[in-house]
Amino acid sequence: MTSSPDQDHVAAGNGGGVATLDPDELPTAAPRTVPWLRIGVIAALIVVAIVLAYVRAGSGVVVVQAVTTGILIGGVYGLVAMGLTLIFGVLDIVNFAHGSFLALALFLTFGLTQAGLHVYLALAVSVPAMFLLGVLVQRGILAGAMGKPLENQLLITLGISLIIENALLLFFGANPRSVALSGDRGVPIFEAVANLSRILAFVGALLLAGLLYLLLQRTRLGTAIRAVAANDTGAQLVGIDTRVIYAVTFALGTACAGAAGTLVAPLVTIEPTTGSLFNIVAFVVVVLGGMGNVVGALIGGLIIGLAEQLGGIYLPGQSPLLSVFIVFVLVLFLRPQGLFRRSA
């Protein structure tokens, strides 16, 4: 429901005619200008939220802990959402199988660590493996549905997710598994503490986000991907093979899920359904950050991570998803196109 105004926006570029509540949305804005004012407003709102949380909790330690945990979790949410937003931005596919790809990577990581490989070395296997799987799925299953109505692709990806989840259940059984990181310990950050594995997952997410951003902005392939996202007919006319770009983009998205799966493996209980935990949040982050915007996804992830943790202080005993959706609905109301619009 929110996708159509956004798509209209793509062609219109940054000088779109949709009324917004932000004063910096002037038609003269250059396409690549960093929206400092908007970032400033968001940062100010986050500071207000933190101060209010302090008043509510009455304990500095708890708030510092909530902010630390929120930022660390948010980085991982951002990484998962980046893959999803890339696929949506370029292929216009709502990929319901994203969480299942993540679960697949979790099990792959589990298998590799059982075979004696270090968790983070497993990235060298899980990322290429998930990239390859992404190419196969896109070329083999989704290519035929390109350009068809949205519900076709939606139902196909939903089907893929059911197949992956139940295949994992069939082959690995339902018993929970875990990957231990040797030397994992609590690391003090100001008054708070965080697990080393969580910090490493966060740093890994930031590094991968940076790499993805460079790939999109600084390479020929990235330029081609952005061109297809902006206008695939136009891209075809200038000689870009859109079929290759579709396959590569989808594969980059699943590779993000693969990387996220390996990075979070030491943090979660590994079950066939673990991926669905990340699915809902990732969709919220994608819409929040502006569909198709990779950097927006990362910032959206951080906001959602903070909303989840601070929400636990404001509204004790409620699902963390409640505060996430309060933020989500507010953003949709004030900026239906997401906080940051498409980078293409």
Partner 1 sequence: MRKTWTLSLALAVPLALAACGGSAPAGTTTGGGEQSGGTIKIGSLHPLSGSSAADGQQMDNGAKLAVEAINNAGGIKSQGGKKLELVSADTQGKPEVGQSEAQRLIQEGAVGLVGTYQSAVSANVSTVSERNKVPFVIDVSSADSILAQGYKYTFRVQPSSTVLGTSGAQFLDQVAKAGGKPVKTVAVLHEQGPFGTAVRDAFKAEAEKAGIKVGPAIAYDAASVSDLTTQITQVKASGADVLMVAGYYRDGVLAAKAVDTVKPPALNAVYGVANGAFDLPQFPKEVGAAAEGYFDANYHADMTKPDMQALAKLYQEKYNDAIRTGAVLAYDSVEVIAAALEKAGSAEPAKVRDAIASGEVPTLIAGPGTIKFGPTGENLNATPILMQVQSGAPKQVFPADKAEAQPVYPAFKSQ
Binding site for partner 1 (CB under 8 A): 57, 59, 61-62, 65-66, 69, 73, 149, 151, 166, 169, 173-176, 178, 180, 186, 192-195, 198, 267-269, 271-273, 277, 280, 308-309, 312-313, 316-321
Question: Distance between CA atoms of 7 and 70, rounded to whole angstroms?
Answer: 31
Q: What angle do CA 93, 252, 212 make, to 5 degrees?
A: 115
Question: Distance between CA atoms of 222 and 213, rounded to whole angstroms?
Answer: 9
CB 183, min distance to partner 1, A: 12
Whole-Å CA distances, 188 to 25, 60, 191? 41, 15, 7
Q: Is 7 exposed, middle or buried (0-12, 13-18, 19+ CB in 10 A)?
A: middle
Query: Which phi and psi (to 5°) does residue 172 adopt?
Result: -105, -10
Task: State which residue, 57 or 291, has the beta carbon closest to partner 1.
Answer: 57
CB 302, min distance to partner 1, A: 15
Task: State which residue, 66 or 133, has the beta carbon closest to partner 1.
Answer: 66
Task: State which residue, 90 or 200, has the beta carbon closest to partner 1.
Answer: 200
Task: State which residue, 144 or 176, has the beta carbon closest to partner 1.
Answer: 176
Helix axes 242-264, 98-114, angle to 10 degrees: 50
Whole-Å CA distances, 209 to 137, 281, 322? 23, 18, 27
CB 22, min distance to partner 1, A: 31
Query: Which phi and psi (to 5°) does residue 192 adopt?
Result: -95, 175
CB 152, min distance to partner 1, A: 9
Strand partners, 194: 187
CB 230, min distance to partner 1, A: 27
CB 5, min distance to partner 1, A: 20
Task: State which residue, 63 or 344, has the beta carbon closest to partner 1.
Answer: 63
Task: State which residue, 159 or 210, has the beta carbon closest to partner 1.
Answer: 159
